[in-house]
Amino acid sequence: MDKVQMLLGLSMALFALGLTGVIIRRNLLVMLMCMELMLNGVNLSLVTFAHQLGAAAGAVLVFLVFVVATAEIAIAIPIVLLMVRRKRTLDADAYADLKG
Amino acid sequence: MGALTLIVLLPLAGFLVNGLAGNRLGKSFVSVVGCGLPLLAFAVAVKSVLALLAAGTPLIETVFTWATIGQQSFEISFYLDRLSSVMVLIVTGVGSVIHIYSIGYMHEDNGYARFFAYLNLFLFFMLMLVLGRSLLVLFVGWEGVGLASYLLIGFWFEDPVNAQAGKKAFIANRIGDAGFLLGMFLLYTALGTLEMDRINAAFMSPTATASLLGLATLVGVFLFIGATGKSAQIPLYVWLPDAMAGPTPVSALIHAATMVTAGVYMTARMSGIYLHSEVASHLIAVIGAATALLAATIAITQTDIKKVLAYSTVSQLGFMFVAAGVGAYGVAVFHLYTHAFFKACLFLGAGSVIHAMSGEQDIRKMGALARKIPLTSTTFVIATAAIAGIPFLSGFFSKDEILLYALVSPLGSKALFLVMALTALMTAFYMFRLLWLVFFGSSRVEPEVAHHIHESPLSMTSVLVILAFLSIIGGYLSIPHFLAPLLPLPSAEEAAHHYHWTVVGISVALGLLGLAGAWFVYGGSGERGKRLQAQFAPMHRLLYAKYYVDELYDALLGRPLVWISDHVFLRLGDRLLLDGTLNGLAALAQRAAGRLGRVQTGSLHLYALFVLLGIVGALLWSWRHG
């Protein structure tokens, strides 16, 4: 198993871990963190491919993902904060009535 | 702007001013605008006609190019020759005096401004019709006068009967228009132009091809179908008697003097085509004669003063078509011209009677009005004498010439002459019957109405006097002679000369016989009339019910159409097919939404799972099909 394959396997594992977390964990903050894991799994694969192909574009895209992730978290955390203020709980299922 | 354009646009300006702001401007302002602009148009028309006579060649004015399609361009241009100058003078002249009459007649009406706006709109379209150089412009006017007629018949639209009459007129005209359009299409395909002077020139040119002349019959018949609608001939005449639901000045202007003669004008204008088709000419003559006779028989029994005049109009239009059918187009226009004066005078006189009688129109409830409304009755007597063909009045000259040419023209025949002579006799009879029942004999007026009987205001009676005067002297201007360079009379010089005095004698005799007959039957106590009616009761019933033609049309066309509309279009098409499809789709969407809505639980985890499944599914699919 060469290095690229290993790195891609790691990236897939990170993504799968994150996805599993989002699906099974109830805590909103943990769900957000798991989403970050997924993003970083993708980032890892991007860097790997960029390295393998010798193209800078993949690496540049990673920065874009960082920026988007930061912005997303900057919005998401305050939203979670506001929700918690209302119901005093981080349990995602407690907010199921948001479906309208 | 040229003079012809000005003639057409002046009434349009009146329509716009009165139509948009009339209610705020006050009645006197509306009257000044409504009557002043048509009078101005009349003055310009007189000036243009004088210019035409001085120039000798037709005046042509192109206003603008309507459309350019490929090599072809359609222009709105106006054309003044001797024929259209007669029409323009009738339309603006008679039109103007009827406008003036309306000041008095409509004074109490709430829709005063609206009425004048519509009248001006009518004049605008009518002038477009008679001045248009191409059939296209004529057709715009043709449709426009139909619209104005519809608006004015249904002027008092609060009463559904009036609105119904307006619709009937519109629909009957639409049927004719379909034929007219087909004729136009054929002409355009054959000649590539719709300009009437060019069409006539093409048909009259010695180099005209046989295929073009072969088309004459078909085109002629199609155009005549249009004329039967507009000019109330069999089979489309039924709308005109109902059109009497409109205010009386409208009946005088649109349904007697001008609009209904548009078909006659069009036939005369397209004479180049009809001269090449004996079949179409015979058809016109036969239809005209049949209509004249049929309408005259109905007119004998009618009891509504305006209905009698309406059937008389239908009958007189039949006379004009007989003249056109035997090739004497100038004579047709001559009768059109004299008819415009005496029929307008009769209708306006009837309006004055109705005004005096506080709205009563039933001649069985009139009688002996002559002394109470002397001016109206005097003018009515003159106009009646003119239409009946009493010598030296205008109707005598024109009707005499129609009878003469029905006999001597190569296209005429003895049978045609006899039918027309019989109709002329009946015309005299029913007109004098009307005169007797309304103005003479014993009074059958209801007492509460009798108090209020009064002569109409000066604005109305002065118009009656003008028209009565024209009914007397109109015949001395020989229109056929005036039009001869344009519309030569049938070549029957010798026969015409031979029969001339015989026909004059017969026509005088017929007029006087009708007068004597009506006097004998309806004079005095009127007992003879009632006895005669009882004696021929079944026939009277048939005539009084107008041969049940309306009922026949209703049974043959009206009811099947209603049935098809109800069962096929409404129930099957609309409700089942269209509404059914729409409602079915809506129900399907609603049910599907109800089922699918259960998926939305509000649980984030479940959503994430669905996303996962979706992505996996998409990946699998692309892997399989990639």
Question: Does the distance separating the beta carbons of A22 and B608 come in below 8 Å?
Answer: yes
Using CB atoms, pick whichever of A23, A26, A96 lies closest to residue B609. A23
Omega before B235 within 30 of 0, i.e. cis: yes
Among candidates B600, B608, B612 on the partner chain, residue whose Cβ is nearest the Cβ of A99: B600
Is A22 close to B602, i.e. CB distance below 8 A? no
Tokens of A34: 């798991």
Percent of chain A's residues with pLDDT above 70: 98
Q: Rounded distance, CA B38 to CA B566, Å?
A: 46
Chain A to chain B Cβ contacts (< 8 Å)? 27
Task: Break chain B into its structural domains and give their ranges.
Answer: 3-199+211-544, 548-586
B94 close to B341: Cβ distance less than 8 angstroms: yes
For residue B63, the surrounding DSSP H or E stretch is strand B59-69
A42 touches chain B (CB under 8 A): no
Nearest partner of B117 among B256, B260, B14, judged by Cα: B14
| Nearest CB to B612; choose among A19, A92, A98 | A19
Position of tokens 């509504």? B304
Count, residues in chain B:
626
- Name the one residue in this structure whose structure tokens are 């964990």: A25
**Using CA atoms, how far apart are residues A2 and A7, in angstroms rounded to an integer?**
9
- Chain B hits for A97, CB-CB cut-off 8 Å, are 602
Sorted by sequence, the CB contacts under 8 Å of residue B468 that are 6+ apart come out as: B345, B378, B379, B382, B383
Residue B247 to residue B266: CA distance in whole angstroms: 27
Chain A nearest C-alpha distance from B584 (Å): 28
Q: What is the rounded distance in angstroms from the CA atom of residue A21 to the CA atom of residue B225?
A: 85
Residue of A nearest to B604 (CA): A92
Within 11-30 of A, beta carbons closer than 8 Å to B belong to 19, 22-24, 26
List of residues 6+ apart from B527 with CB closer than 8 A: none
Contact B428, B396 (CB under 8 A): no
| B349 phi/psi in degrees, rounded to 5 | -65, -45
Report in angstroms the alpha-carbon separations of B53 from A43, B374, B482.
97, 40, 11
Identify the pLDDT of residue B352.
93
Q: How many CB atoms sit inside 10 A of residue B545's CB?
A: 13
CA distances in angstroms from B533 to B342, B366, B495, listed in the order given? 29, 19, 41
- Residue B605 and residue A24: Cβ atoms within 8 Å? yes
Is the minimum CB–CB distance between A59 and chain B shorter than 8 Å?
no
CA distance A2 to chain B (A): 25
CB-count exposure of residue B39 (10 Å: 0-12, 13-18, 19+): middle
Helices assigned H by DSSP within B192-304: 196-204, 210-230, 239-242, 248-252, 262-269, 271-274, 278-301
**Residues of chain B that touch chain A, judged by Cβ-Cβ distance less than 8 Å:** 600-605, 608-609, 612
* Chain A residues touching B602 at Cβ < 8 A: 95-99
pLDDT the model gives residue B316: 95
In whole angstroms, give the CA distance from residue B121 to residue B10: 10
Residue A27: φ, ψ to 5°: -75, 125
Q: Note whether B602 contacts A19, CB cutoff 8 Å.
A: no
Mean pLDDT in consecutive groups of 10 residues from the start of chain B, 626 residues: 91 93 87 93 95 91 88 90 94 94 90 93 95 94 94 92 92 93 93 90 86 89 95 92 92 92 94 91 95 94 93 95 94 94 94 89 87 92 93 91 91 92 94 91 84 87 94 90 86 79 90 89 78 86 88 91 92 92 95 88 85 92 90
Task: Set out the domains of chain A in order of their start, with CATH numbers.
Answer: 3-89 (1.10.287.3510)
Q: Rounded to whole angstroms, what are the CA distances from B202 to B62, B208, B222, B500? A: 21, 6, 19, 34
Position A100 confidence tier, pLDDT thresholds 50, 70, 90: low
Has residue A1 got a pLDDT over 70?
no
Q: Chain B residue closest to A97 (CA)?
A: B602
The average pLDDT across A21-36 equals 91
Contact A98 B602 (CB under 8 A): yes
Residue listed under structure tokens 């309408």? B295
Hey, what amino acid is at B107? H
CA-CA-CA-CA dihedral for B190, B196, B202, B204, to nearest 10: 130
Q: Choose among B313, B289, B231, B539: nearest CA to B421.
A: B289
By C-alpha distance, the chain B residue nearest A100 is B602
Flag whether residue A98 sits within 8 Å of chain B, measured between CB atoms: yes
| pLDDT at residue B539, rounded to an integer | 87
Give B-chain residues touching A19 at CB under 8 angstroms. 608, 612
Mutate: best of A26, A35, A93, A98, partner B, most B CBs <10 A: A93
Q: Mean pLDDT in chain B?
A: 91
- Token reading at B588: 């399907």
